[in-house]
Amino acid sequence: MENSLSQRISTELSNQKILKDYLRKCKTDGLKEATTTTAEATLTPFIYKYYS
């Protein structure tokens, strides 16, 4: 049970890091609106980086 909780916490922290990096990149790129296409194009590299 503890391992499952630990994994969920770790996943949640990873997801928060990905989101923060994504928002930072949007701000850097001057994006004011994150559309689905923009989000997919921006998040895909971060997802591969953290989960590969």
Which domain does 8 fall in, by range?
2-51
Percent of the chain predicted with pLDDT > 70: 79
- Structural domain count of the chain: 1
Burial letters for 28-51: b for 16+ Cβ neighbours within 10 Å, e otherwise? eeeeeeeeeeeeeebbeebeeeee
pLDDT digits 0-9 by tens, 18-29: 778 877 877 788
When the pLDDT of each residue in the chain is averaged and rounded to a whole number, the result is 74
